[in-house]
Amino acid sequence: MFKILVTGANGQLGSEIKELSSHYPQHDFIFADRTMLDLSNLVKIENFFANKHFDAIINCAAYTAVDRAESESELADTINHRFVSMLAKIAKRTSTKLIHISTDYVFDGCNHRPYIESDPTNPQGMYGKTKCDGESAILTIAPANTIIIRTSWVYSSFGTNFVKTMLRLGKERDSLGVIFDQVGTPTYARDLAQAILEVLPSINNEKPEIYHYSNEGAVSWYDFAKAIFELSNIQCSVNPITTDQYPTPASRPHYSLLNKTKIKNDFNLSIPYWRDSLKECLITLGETK
């Protein structure tokens, strides 16, 4: 039986993989949360892996508090960079397949076409920098059968995310201001989880490869919020605002569309349209009209 370790088990992506795992009885899944694997303690991490072997590791764990990373840069670096470096070394030493999840924040958001995997990185905040450093560590250590998947605007029926925040605020308020000058693509974590489990058996590369995955289409946060309210029949007016009207400690990329051609071609993947996936999530949450 194929033994798979999933880190970040209680996060959005880890929770979706857990939900889907029953459809893969040929795999033995081990879901590691913070109580099992303390990512802030590198000594404990070494001890965790000391007498264990896995056929594959899916690293969903990350420090994702984008704004707080500006003041907690050391913790963000430990989880997003140093822990990832350890995973890459372990994967290389034990010939373990590794799927690592990264982010559109490794880019500066100044492109005028969807980013491809080989585009230069230029993170603008500590979150993006630590994630970029994690990628670099994997590429330097170069374990075989490893892929990095960059994604964007992740949401789910699990955890805290934009969709659930909009649902809550939309029921509490008559109107909301939502940013319209940041453009990207939402990613339903269940779709990404399904894609990961589909590609895992086919990973067979000598050096790490980078892929991009989000749902299809392009949208602003404003348009995303409008769709959430429309599909859930919430009567809340949405007003477009600019980024400078909603200042945050960390800057966000204004343009973070990801080109998914490589992952679709290499693994024969079909990727759902963002609005269709949003509706599926809202059905799961019991929020559709």
CA 82 – CA 76 distance, rounded (Å): 9
Q: What is the mean pLDDT of residues 115-137?
A: 96
CATH class of 2-160+186-215+258-271: alpha beta
Q: Cβ–Cβ contacts within 10 Å for residue 230, how many?
A: 13
Evaluate if pTM is beyond 0.75.
Answer: yes
Joined tokens for residue 189: 């974590």
Chain segment 40-74, per-residue pLDDT in tens: 888 888 888 888 889 999 999 998 989 899 999 99
Q: At residue 135, does pLDDT exceed 90?
A: yes
> What integer pLDDT is reported at residue 289 of this predicted model?
62
> What integer pLDDT is reported at residue 87 of this predicted model?
94
> What integer pLDDT is reported at residue 43 of this predicted model?
86
The chain-wide mean pLDDT, for the chain, equals 94
Task: List Cβ neighbours of 244 (8 Å cut-off, separation of 6 or more).
Answer: none
Chain segment 138-185, per-residue pLDDT in tens: 999 999 999 999 999 999 999 999 999 999 999 999 999 999 999 999
Is residue 190 within 8 Å of 19, Cβ to Cβ? yes
Q: What is the mean pLDDT of residues 204-213?
A: 96
Is residue 255 within 8 Å of 221, Cβ to Cβ? no
Q: At residue 37, does pLDDT exceed 90?
A: no
User: What share of the chain has pLDDT > 70, as a percent?
Assistant: 100
Largest Cα–Cα distance of the chain, in whole Å?
56
Q: Which of 127, 188, 211, 255 is catalytic?
A: 127
User: What share of the chain has pLDDT > 90, as a percent?
Assistant: 85
188 in active site: no
Q: At residue 121, does pLDDT exceed 90?
A: yes
Q: At residue 1, does pLDDT exceed 80?
A: no
> What integer pLDDT is reported at residue 226 of this predicted model?
96
* pLDDT confidence bin for 288, thresholds 50/70/90: confident
Give the dihedral sign, CA 158/162/163/167: positive
